Amino acid sequence: MKKSTKFLASAVAAVAIFFTTNASAQKVGIGANLGIPTSDLYSFAAGVDLRVQFDVTKQLSVPIATGYNHFFAKDDNIGYPGSGELPDYGYIPVKTGLKYFINPSGSGLYAMGEVGAAIGVSDHAKTTFLYAPTLGYSWSNGLDLGVKYENAGKGVDFLGNESGQVALRIAYGFKL
């Protein structure tokens, strides 16, 4: 499937979810992600994201997110066609999902699951299916800390391995 088709399908799915929910409140969150790649080929992962959250109830929300994630290749990797060195891997996630707060107040401990597309933007990167389960804690002052596993599938054409990370997300959210 072409990149443009996958991107369009992800965008349509996100808009459809938005219009089928009775969203009463909107929140925006800006976050930084620091991760440990699950592949031996990369040493570190870092990223930023922007998340809009539509509250269905106080406990259940529909997040829609995008951003940029970058995997830093280890210096000793060999196998990149033509140069001998593996390039870094970067992608733009476009995802949506469900966020459920354990506490009825709509803050505190939460579990979240997101799915979408990882749009590859580096050399030999491709668009793949992405999923990210998360456990986190959100304070009423807007601070949000989460630990997630994000898997971007086989994002680099010639490697054949999964591009995943275990990441800490530090964010600040505010109501619109």
pLDDT, residue 75, reads 74
The pLDDT-based confidence of 129 (bands split at 50, 70, 90) is: very high
Average pLDDT over residues 95-106: 93
pLDDT, residue 146, reads 97
Going by C-beta distance under 8 Å and a sequence separation of 6 or more, which residues neighbour residue 150? 35, 69, 93, 130, 131, 132, 164, 165, 167
Residues in the chain: 176
∠ Cα 69 31 146 (to 5°):
95
Average pLDDT over residues 79-100: 81
Average pLDDT over residues 125-144: 93
Residue 109 bridge partners (DSSP): 137
Tell me the per-residue pLDDT of 160-172, one tens digit each, with 9 for 90 and over. 567 889 999 999 9
Indicate the burial class of 50 (C-beta count within 10 angstroms; 0-12, 13-18, 19 or more).
middle
Number of domains in the chain: 1
Tell me the three state secondary structure of residue 144. Answer: strand
Q: What is the average pLDDT value for the chain, to the nearest integer? A: 84
CB contact at 8 A, 3 and 9:
no
pLDDT, residue 167, reads 97
pLDDT, residue 175, reads 85
Cβ neighbour number for residue 32 with a 10 Å cutoff: 15
Flag whether pLDDT at 109 surpasses 60.
yes
The pLDDT-based confidence of 99 (bands split at 50, 70, 90) is: very high
Tell me the per-residue pLDDT of 28-59, one tens digit each, with 9 for 90 and over. 999 999 999 998 888 999 999 999 999 999 89
Tell me the per-residue pLDDT of 112-122, one tens digit each, with 9 for 90 and over. 999 999 999 98
pLDDT, residue 133, reads 97
If you average pLDDT over each of 14-28, 48-62, 74-88, which comes out highest? Answer: 48-62
What CATH number corresponds to the domain at position 124? Answer: 2.40.160.20
Domain that holds residue 34: 3-175
Flag whether pLDDT at 126 surpasses 70.
yes
pLDDT, residue 87, reads 79
